[in-house]
């Protein structure tokens, strides 16, 4: 289902959707773009570069209470399930790299054992994507990992900005629903509109991005160089923070801890929080033994998981080329450079 | 204006003569405008060494990290590390010396003066260039910073693009260096020390509380601020739920009894606790390199917390950290004339 | 609402047996599910044990799959959760969710000789396999069990091992001589070398400290065992147990789902990150 929305009607569409859902859109907060809740009557511009934090938090928030427990004096524990009762949510301005990341997250959270928390959130969120028309940010490389500035994967709607209007394409039932519900705001798509969409998409592909020449060759090189000393060299500057993975749209690792709020009666919650393969304690056994005990091994894990292991398991990279891990690394560790260095095999 | 060739030549000489096991400096990065840390172990590698207003990182961090790494890898090259250090970086080295974390003979300092310049703040630069991505930045002395971008270039006044810490810097050159590059400039054309923190400190407590609540709510606890700080060298940290220094003799009870002072959940109260604890542990130790603030992906103005305590240390104890390696550190010393009687 | 995979079932501790004393004590806990709960398991599978307020730990199920009215877990006092469970009493309630992971392919081994080699608390994960083999004794040819502890006090399942002697060859060892010890003195791999096992038609199953496993495998290879004839089980830090949280990830595998049981042939193809 496709339609045309005049630019000046975007606000009205959002207002109508606010009757039934919470609306999020990128907002410029503290000099950074962040998804923020759109207040009644607030203006949404959709002129953002990518948000610092990805859209994954709408399906996989940094903190999720799994259940609560309570033990009254030596009686058996009472467990209260807290599967999220999620408000309907529509997220505008999701870039295609974040959309494609959602396909990866779906693989992790719904294959095998289905994760009820992820599922409950996913069922109630509509991702409205926005194709990238402007020149890419300095570390974008979506095309190299099989994406594009207007990829539809993982999105419910894809909007493409044209001159004074948006081409709006619903991609799922949830997407069709939010377009159809405000049907009178939209116009039919004409042939000229489709030409403009085609042009906009073609121009976006013309912009030069950072590139990795062959993902197959990179995967093979990673497999070959697992024991190479290059990893220590590449990770020499790594400070072991979590910026790369916490900002990654497809990193999904988490920790589970008990948070006790009262000792007697013992009351608390079992809580999951984002965790991070770059932290030294991530894999440390109770004995103190740590299978990945230095930054080289941990960087290798991050890169190999994204560009080799996930490919072997799910036939797709677990990286969608958003470039956040590069831009926000405090010391310039660069997955594109690493991939190319690996493939070319040029290091001392 | 420091000729970078001079530093390269010195680094090359140190490596060629085998006086150092490595030189820590800066080189261009594929990740963006800012220079990245370079660990040079051969003379050839020094050709890539750069020095310009993009060399923001405080490499003193690696004196700590390399020490841990060597110990871990059971390597025992006793030769010192050469390190390129700006004024702030060298104060960090001095604090590490004051705290006996390193010995003076373990490091050879290639001190560089920022003279009337400083390091750029990429957020300010992006704003000044209105989104045009900068490709290079160079000192133009008092004129400011010459910036190039695709399709053009411009000179921007230092006050518009330099990091706040540089605008407030009281000593833009190292006090303790084995080799010194540049001129010692004491008169700098920018604002007074503590300008930024004074602006916020003047506000009422409710306003300040709201200010910090809003910032801490956005914290994602990536710990980049802690990881980048040369003073955050502890083997164990109060925010970690596991004890990193588990050995074969660590008992189960020791592990089990470890108190979780701060939950992993990135909730406003836990985040505030984390940042407060970090700030308190840096009181009288932070030398204002501003790295914590620079690396924060969500732009929390962390430098304000630390400079507030720096200001307190100065006002209450006339103490400035990182000035003299022989001076006892603020927290480990007392004076007979202390107005409080708990020390007597 | 779909079944919540993170929600444990409640189980009451009905019996506690001290296996090994000391700082790294091992106790065996027998638990019965409450409210009509429970699940079936296969030999080699694990379960997430909850002590509410402390957390969860992945523990291998030590009781035989045929036992349906309770499950047993032999747990070493090691960290936060295991210390808490060691401090519990009969009647206390824990949480259990599972079963997780793969199993030892015991049914594929019919007609074969089985050689079990365990050390320390590594007897617990292979114990249900031994139980299964013994319960179906006619299905297998020779059954041999090597097991060793640092001292005689570190021998777990001592009584059970004695009972096993009628149906299997049992070779116990301790690291250095003690008065009254009639078994072998020396490390487990040396005990195995001392009583060479014929690789023909045999399967070796080993579990114990990593260094022991390393030497056992090297010795087995020397005796002519092929990589496919050697099975072991590995452990890694785990949080979810269901292949999501990423902690136990080694190469393409999440150990909690694809493991913990591996043939040496399979394990060799994985990075050594366990």
B218 touches chain A (CB under 8 A): yes
Residues of chain C in contact with residue A297, where contact means CB-CB under 8 angstroms, are 273
Option in A79, A112, A297 nearest C243 (CB): A112
Q: Are residues A149 and A223 in the same domain?
A: no
- Put simply, whether B69 touches A (Cβ < 8 Å) is yes
Query: Which pLDDT value is given to residue B334?
Result: 78
Task: Give a yes or no: residue A65 inside a domain.
Answer: no
Q: How confident is the model at residue B87 (pLDDT cuts 50, 70, 90)?
A: very high
Distance CA C14, CA B109 (A): 66
Residues 72-91 of A with CB under 8 A from C: 76-77, 79, 81, 83
Residue B144 confidence (pLDDT): 87
User: Could you tell me if residue A78 is inside a domain?
Assistant: no
Tell me the two tokens of residue C39.
């699940």
Residue B158 reports pLDDT greater than 80: yes
Residues of chain A with Cβ-Cβ distance to B72 below 8 Å are: 293-294
Look at A334 and B246 and tell me if their CB atoms are within 8 Å: no
Tokens 């019919």 belong to which residue?
A: C110
Which residues are registered as beta bridge partners of A85?
none
Select from A206, A224, A247 the last residue of a domain: A206
Q: Are residues A157 and A249 in the same domain?
A: no
Closest-CA distance, A164 to chain B, in angstroms, reads: 22
Evaluate whether residue A69 is within a structural domain. Answer: no
Residues A167 and A39 in one domain: yes
C249 contact residues in A (CB cutoff 8 A): 277, 301, 305, 309
B68 touches chain A (CB under 8 A): no
Number of structural domains (chain A) is 2
Residues of chain B in contact with residue C78, where contact means CB-CB under 8 angstroms, are 252, 255
DSSP string, A130-167: E---SPPPTT--GGGGT--TT--TT-SEEEEEETTEEE
ipTM: 0.94
Partner residue facing A312 (CB), from C2, C3, C252: C252
- pLDDT above 60 for C151: yes
Name which of B215, B248, B297 is nearest A52 (Cβ-Cβ): B297
* Interchain proximity A241–B222, CB inside 8 Å: yes
- Read off the pLDDT of each residue in A221-239 and give the average, rounded to a whole number: 95
A138 within domain boundaries: yes
Where residue A348 falls among pLDDT bands split at 50, 70, 90?
A: very low
The span from the CA of A67 to the CA of B266, in Å, is 18
Q: What is the pLDDT of residue B244?
A: 63
Query: By the CB < 8 Å criterion, does A36 face chain B?
Result: no
CB-based contact C82 B252, cutoff 8 Å: yes
- Tell me, yes or no, whether A124 lies in a domain: yes
Q: Is C248 annotated as a binding residue?
A: yes
Interface test with B, best of C57, C79, C245 (most B CBs within 10 A): C79
Whose tokens are 């004695």? That residue is C162
Report whether A322 contacts A54 (CB < 8 A).
yes
Residue A197 is part of which domain span? 2-60+84-206
> What are residue A188's phi and psi, to 5 degrees?
-70, 155
Shortest Cα distance from C99 to chain B (angstroms)? 26
Of A170, A188, A206, the residue at which a domain comes to its end is A206
Percent of chain A with pLDDT over 90: 87
| Average predicted confidence (pLDDT) for chain A | 95
Q: Quickly tell me which residue has 């777990």 as its tokens.
A: C156
Chain A residues whose CB is inside 8 A of the B260 CB are 257
What is the Cα–Cα distance from C90 to C69, expressed in whole angstroms? Answer: 16
Residues of A in contact with C271 (CB under 8 A): 226
CA distance B271 to chain C (A): 21
CA distances B244 to A152, A234, C57, Å, are 44, 24, 19
Q: Which residue in chain A has the smallest CA separation from B125?
A: A31
Give the lowest-confidence range in B123-132, B208-217, C152-161, C179-188. B123-132
Whether the full predicted model's pTM is greater than 0.80, yes or no, is yes
Q: Give pLDDT, residue A347.
A: 58
- Pair (A219, A188) in one structural domain: no
List CB contacts (< 8 A) between B251 and chain C.
23
Distance from CA of B149 to the nearest CA of C (A): 41
pLDDT recorded at residue B343: 59
Write down the pLDDT at residue B1: 67
Considering only A45-54, B68-77, C232-241, which range has the smallest mean pLDDT? Answer: B68-77
pLDDT digits (tens, 9 = 90+) for B260-319: 889 999 999 999 999 999 999 999 999 999 999 999 999 999 999 999 999 999 998 899
Q: What does the DSSP assignment read for B235-299?
A: SS-TT-SS-TT--TT--HHHHHT----S-SS--HHHHHHHHHHHHHHTTTT-----HHHHH-TT-
Q: Is the peptide bond before C99 cis (omega within 30 degrees of 0)?
A: yes
Q: In the predicted model, is pLDDT for residue C249 greater than 70?
A: yes
Mean pLDDT of A132-146: 94
pLDDT score at A219: 97
Residues A232 and A291 in one domain: yes
How far is residue B22's CA from residue A3's CA, in Å, rounded to a whole number?
Answer: 62
Mean pLDDT of A263-282: 95
A70, part of any domain: no
Indicate whether A286 and A226 sit together in one domain: yes
B255 — contact with chain C (CB < 8 Å)?
yes
C179 pLDDT exceeds 70?
Answer: yes
Report the C-alpha gap between A10 and A14 in whole angstroms.
6
Residue A67 to residue C235, Cβ atoms within 8 A: no
Task: Find which of A54, A295, A330 to mutate to test the B interface (most B CBs within 10 Å of its CB).
Answer: A330
Whether C207 has a binding-site annotation, put simply, is no
Q: List, for residues A170-188, the tens digit of each pLDDT value.
A: 999 999 999 999 989 999 9
Q: How far is CA A219 from the centre of its chain?
A: 22
CA distance B27 to B84: 11
Token pair in block for residue C263 = 């043939």
**End-to-end Cα spacing for chain C:** 36
Please answer yes or no on whether B263 and A284 come within 8 Å at the CB atom.
Answer: no
Q: In B, which residues are within 8 Å of A242 by CB distance? A: 220-224
Per the prediction, chain B carries an average pLDDT of 92
CATH number of residue A112's parent domain: 3.40.640
Chain B CB within 8 Å of residue A346 CB: no
What is the average pLDDT across A333-340?
97
Whether the per-residue pLDDT at C138 is higher than 60: the answer is: yes
Instruction: Please state the rounded mean pLDDT for residues C13-20.
Output: 97
The helix/strand/coil state of B314 is helix
Q: Do residues A169 and A222 both lie within one domain?
A: no
Strands A22-29 and A89-94: parallel
pLDDT at residue A60 is higher than 70: yes
Do A154 and A28 lie in a common domain? yes
Chain A residues within 8 A of B39 when measuring between CB atoms: 236-237
Per-residue pLDDT at B222? 97
Please give the pLDDT value at position A299: 98
Which tokens is C269 given? 């193809």
Of B251, B256, B258, the CB nearest to C84: B256
CA–CA distance, A233 with A219 (Å, rounded to integer) = 19
Residues 63-102 in C contacting A (C-alpha not used; CB under 8 Å): 78-79, 82, 93, 95
- Res C2: pLDDT: 46
pLDDT of B342 higher than 70? no
Q: Please name the residues between 59 and 88 in chain A that touch chain B, using a CB distance below 8 Å.
A: 62-63
Does A267 map to a domain? no
Task: Please say whether the beta carbons of A207 and A136 come within 8 A.
Answer: yes
Residues 44-83 of C with CB under 8 A from B: 77-80, 82-83
Mean pLDDT of A244-273: 96
List chains touching C (3+ CB pairs under 8 A).
A, B
Choose the mutation target among B256, B259, B263, B264 for the interface with C, i.e. most C CBs under 10 Å. B256
Band (pLDDT 50/70/90 cuts) for residue C1 is very low
Number of B:C CB contacts under 8 A?
20
Q: Which of A113, A270, A277 sits opposite C5 (nearest CB)?
A: A113
Residues A31 and A132 in one domain: yes
Unique residue bearing structure tokens 């260039």: B129
- Summarize pLDDT for B224-263 with one digit per residue, the tens: 999 999 999 998 888 887 666 777 788 888 888 888 889 9
Answer whether C239 sits within 8 Å of A291, measured CB to CB. no
Instruction: Give the residue from C88, C59, C61, C91 showing the smallest Cα distance to C76.
Output: C59
CB A56 within 8 A of CB A246: no
Considering the domain architecture, whether residues A236 and A172 belong to the same structural domain is answered as: no
Contact C82 A286 (CB under 8 A): yes
Residue A113 sits in the same domain as residue A46: yes
| A-C C-beta contacts closer than 8 Å | 121
Which residue from B minimizes the CA distance to C81? B256
Interface check B249 vs A, CB under 8 A: no
Domains and CATH numbers, chain C: 9-100 (2.40.30.10), 106-233 (3.40.50.80)
Handedness of CA C95, C97, C99, C101 (dihedral sign): negative
Asked whether residue C185 is marked as a ligand-binding residue, the answer is: no
Residue C245, marked binder: yes
One domain, residues A16 and A160:
yes
Residue A72 covered by a domain: no
Helix, strand, or coil here: C184? strand
Q: Is B291 on the interface with A (CB under 8 A)?
A: yes
Query: C-contacting residues of A 264-293, CB under 8 Å?
Result: 266, 268, 270, 272, 275, 277, 282-287, 289, 291-292
Instruction: Please tell me the predicted confidence (pLDDT) of residue B255.
Output: 85
Among C23, C24, C79, the residue with its CB nearest the CB of B256 is C79
């Amino acid at each position: 289902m496709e339609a045309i929305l005049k630019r000046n009607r975007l606000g009205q569409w959002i207002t109508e959707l606010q009757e039934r859902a919470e609306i999020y859109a990128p907002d410029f907060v503290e000099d950074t773009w962040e998804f923020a809740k759109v207040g009644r009557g607030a203006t949404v511009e959709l002129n953002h570069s990518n948000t610092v934090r990805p859209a994954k938090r709408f399906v996989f928030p940094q903190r999720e209470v799994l259940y609560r427990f309570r033990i009254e004096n030596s009686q058996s524990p009472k467990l209260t399930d807290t599967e999220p009762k999620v408000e309907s949510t529509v997220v505008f301005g999701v870039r295609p790299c974040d959309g494609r990341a959602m396909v990866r997250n779906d693989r992790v959270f719904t294959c095998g054992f289905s994760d009820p928390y992820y599922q409950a959130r996913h069922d109630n969120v509509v991702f409205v994507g926005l194709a990238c028309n402007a020149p890419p940010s300095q570390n974008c490389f979506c095309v190299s990992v099989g994406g594009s500035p207007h990829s539809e994967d993982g999105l419910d709607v894809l909007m493409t900005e044209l001159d004074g209007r948006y081409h709006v394409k619903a991609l799922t039932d949830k997407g069709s629903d939010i377009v159809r519900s405000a049907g009178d705001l939209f116009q039919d798509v004409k042939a000229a509109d489709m030409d403009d969409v085609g042009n906009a998409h073609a121009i976006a592909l013309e912009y030069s991005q950072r590139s990795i020449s062959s993902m197959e060759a990179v995967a093979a090189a990673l497999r070959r160089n697992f024991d190479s000393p290059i990893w220590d060299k590449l990770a020499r500057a790594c400070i072991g923070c979590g910026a790369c993975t916490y900002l990654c749209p497809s990193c999904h690792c988490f920790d589970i801890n008990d948070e006790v709020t009262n000792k007697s009666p013992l009351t608390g919650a079992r809580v999951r929080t984002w965790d991070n393969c770059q932290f030294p304690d991530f894999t440390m056994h109770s004995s103190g033994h740590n299978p990945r005990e230095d930054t080289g091994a941990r960087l290798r894990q991050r890169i190999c998981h994204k560009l080799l292991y996930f490919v072997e398991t799910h036939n797709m990279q677990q990286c969608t080329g958003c470039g956040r891990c590069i831009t926000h690394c405090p010391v310039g560790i660069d997955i594109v450079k690493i991939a190319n260095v690996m493939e070319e095999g040029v290091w001392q | 204006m420091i000729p970078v060739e001079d530093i390269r030549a010195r680094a090359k000489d140190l490596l060629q003569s085998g006086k150092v096991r490595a030189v820590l400096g800066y080189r261009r990065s594929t990740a963006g405008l800012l220079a990245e840390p370079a660990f040079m172990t051969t003379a050839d590698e020094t050709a890539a060494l750069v020095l310009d207003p993009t060399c923001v990182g405080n490499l003193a961090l690696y004196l700590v990290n390399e020490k841990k790494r060597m110990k871990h890898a059971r390597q025992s090259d006793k030769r010192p590390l050469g390190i390129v250090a700006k004024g702030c970086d060298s104060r960090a080295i001095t604090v590490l010396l004051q705290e006996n974390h390193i010995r003076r003979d373990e490091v050879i300092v290639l001190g560089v003066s920022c003279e009337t310049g400083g390091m750029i703040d990429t957020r300010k630069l992006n704003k000044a260039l209105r989104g045009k991505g900068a490709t290079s930045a160079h000192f133009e002395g008092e004129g400011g910073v010459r910036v190039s971008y695709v399709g053009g270039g411009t000179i921007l006044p230092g006050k518009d693009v330099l990091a706040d810490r540089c605008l407030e810097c009281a000593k833009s050159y190292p006090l303790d260096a084995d080799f010194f590059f540049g001129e010692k400039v004491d008169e700098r054309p920018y604002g007074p020390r503590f300008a930024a923190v004074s602006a916020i400190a003047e506000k009422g407590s409710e306003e300040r509380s709201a200010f910090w609540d809003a910032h801490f709510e956005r914290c994602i606890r990536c710990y980049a601020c802690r990881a980048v700080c040369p003073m955050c060298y502890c083997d164990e940290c109060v925010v970690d739920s596991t004890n990193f220094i588990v050995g074969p003799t660590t008992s189960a009870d020791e592990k089990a009894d470890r108190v979780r002072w701060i939950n992993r959940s990135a909730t406003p109260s836990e985040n505030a606790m984390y940042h407060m604890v970090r700030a308190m542990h840096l009181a009288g130790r932070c030398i204002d390199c501003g790295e914590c603030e620079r690396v924060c992906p969500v732009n929390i103005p962390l430098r304000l917390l630390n400079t507030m305590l720096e200001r307190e240390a100065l006002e209450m104890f006339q103490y400035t950290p990182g000035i003299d390696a022989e001076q006892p550190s603020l927290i480990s010393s007392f004076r007979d004339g202390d107005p409080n009687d708990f020390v007597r | 609402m779909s079944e919540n995979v993170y929600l444990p079932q409640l189980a009451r501790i009905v019996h506690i047996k001290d296996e090994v004393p000391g700082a790294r004590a091992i106790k065996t806990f027998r638990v019965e599910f409450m409210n009509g709960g429970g699940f079936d398991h296969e030999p080699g599978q694990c379960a997430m044990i909850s002590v509410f307020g402390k957390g969860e730990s992945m523990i291998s199920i030590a009781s035989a799959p045929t036992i349906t009215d309770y499950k047993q877990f032999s747990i070493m006092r090691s960290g936060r959760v295991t210390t808490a469970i060691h401090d519990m009493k009969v009647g206390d309630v824990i949480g259990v969710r599972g079963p997780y992971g793969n199993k030892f392919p015991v049914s594929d081994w019919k007609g074969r000789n089985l050689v079990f080699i365990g050390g320390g608390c590594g007897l617990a994960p292979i114990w249900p396999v031994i139980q299964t083999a013994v319960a179906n004794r006619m299905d297998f040819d020779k059954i041999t069990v090597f097991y060793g502890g640092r001292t005689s006090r570190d021998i777990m399942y001592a009584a059970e091992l004695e009972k096993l002697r009628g149906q299997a060859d049992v070779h116990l060892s301790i690291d250095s001589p003690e008065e009254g010890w009639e078994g072998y003195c020396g490390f487990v791999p040396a005990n195995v070398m001392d009583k060479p096992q014929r690789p023909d038609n045999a399967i070796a199953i080993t579990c114990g400290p990593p260094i022991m496993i390393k030497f056992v495998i090297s010795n087995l290879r020397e005796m002519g065992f092929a990589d496919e004839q050697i099975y072991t089980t590995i452990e890694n830090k785990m949080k979810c147990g269901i292949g999501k949280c990423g902690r136990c990830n080694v190469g393409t595998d999440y150990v909690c789902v694809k493991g913990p049981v591996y043939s040496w042939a399979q394990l060799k193809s994985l990075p050594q990150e366990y």
